[in-house]
Amino acid sequence: MLTRRMLLRGSASLAATALIGRPANAADGDPIRALQRRIEMLSRRAFNQRGIRSAIAVGVVTPDLPKGQLLFAGGDTLINPFGKKLALDAQTPLEIGSVSKVFTSGIYYMLHGPYEGTLGTSLGSRLRLSKAVADIRLKNLAIYEPGLPQDNRSGAYPPGVMKSVKSLFDYMADFVPPNGQGACYAYSNIGWSLLSMAALRIDSTNTDAFVTQYDKRLKQFCAKFDAPNTAVFHANMKPRLPVGYTRRFVALPARSLYRPCNLPGYGSGGIVSNGADMLRYLLYNMGRLPGGLTDPALVYQQTETFRTAACSATGGSPVTGYGWFHTPIQTGRGHATVLSKNGGVPGFTSWMGFTKWQGTGAPSSHGVFVLHNGPRSTGIGTNAMKLLLTT
């Protein structure tokens, strides 16, 4: 099975080649029209040259489009995993991968407020943790400094650790993290899985009970911004999903489960959403919904930033927040900081980003999300932001 890192690594290079071979600008002065043409070109070229049935959903928010606009490409050739024709519109579900992490952060704040305490003080006494794991502060999990190994590639843990909640805690009962928490950056999917369980205060190793409870709290959180169709993956969603493609644009076989990750990892990467709901979530994070400018959850999760050295030579040293990455972008009009998060699971990628706005007294000016049944979301999203901020 492809790892998320493999999918995300492919997204930037493929998109950069196909989408950004020329400077990001809109010759006719209309960036929305230019973006629509570009995603249509990507989808059409993929189908004409390789028979790839690419579905691209993009949401855009600008000062001229304060309520946002949805753009789609690939709907005329789209099929589901079983080869049946599928519509592409605002309600078409797609897997969002690791963008699930910022949903989990929102769920935590909704239930408990700021990050306080440790895994040991937040999880039930029936769940076994080594002292080193029990002492991990929730805040360090949320800012990607957990001390746990980087695991968005294979090999960080033995096979089967994430098979069930029980197998996860059986392993964590004796596990000693390789790094000191708060000392270095490491992207940890298992860390976010544990954080989602801490948010729910679970005290049982029943995997199905965890999934049910997380889905319930996810829907409670999404009700805040009127996104009723966002949920964790269930097998009955498969016929409504587009066929998924790997980073090399090989279609997932019909026999594939299409489950984005193991069940204990749903708080890290197991959410399915659609264009309509993701646009509402983007507007919410941009402070553009009622009460958004003073929403304490947004102030807390978007203001403070952190940066440490990488735990490994390949880990990088990004500026992080609570779930979000604070990324500098250079445009034709100067420098901007974009809060962003991407995601990749077998067959699907996603990206969401918006200009930093906390402390300005005004909502975020520009925002974009991308959902794709292939590897291109990160490249499309970052370059769409450059296009919007340059025009």
Question: How far apart, in whole angstroms, are the C-alpha atoms of residue 259 and residue 285?
Answer: 27
- Indicate the residue type of 47: F
Is 224 buried (19+), middle (13-18) or exposed (0-12) by CB count in 10 A? middle
Render 313-374 in DSSP notation, one character per residue: TTS----B-SS-EEEEEEETTEEEEEEEEEEEETTEEEEEEEE--TTSSS--S-EEEEEESS
User: Residue 18 is part of which domain span?
Assistant: 4-390
Question: How far apart, in whole angstroms, are the C-alpha atoms of residue 369 and residue 69?
Answer: 11
* Tokens, residue 249: 């644009």
pLDDT tens for the chain, residues 1 to 391: 334 444 444 443 333 334 433 444 555 679 999 999 999 999 999 999 999 999 999 999 999 999 999 999 999 999 999 999 999 999 999 999 999 999 999 999 999 999 999 999 999 999 999 999 999 999 999 999 999 999 988 789 999 999 999 999 999 999 999 999 999 999 999 999 999 999 999 999 999 999 999 999 999 999 999 999 999 999 999 999 999 999 999 999 999 999 999 999 999 999 999 999 999 999 999 999 999 999 999 999 999 999 999 998 877 899 999 999 999 988 878 899 999 999 999 999 999 999 999 999 999 999 999 999 999 999 999 999 999 999 8
Residues forming a β-bridge with 351: 342, 370
Give the CATH number for residue 52: 3.40.710.10
What domain count does the chain have? 1
Q: What is residue 12's predicted lDDT score, i.e. its pLDDT? A: 38
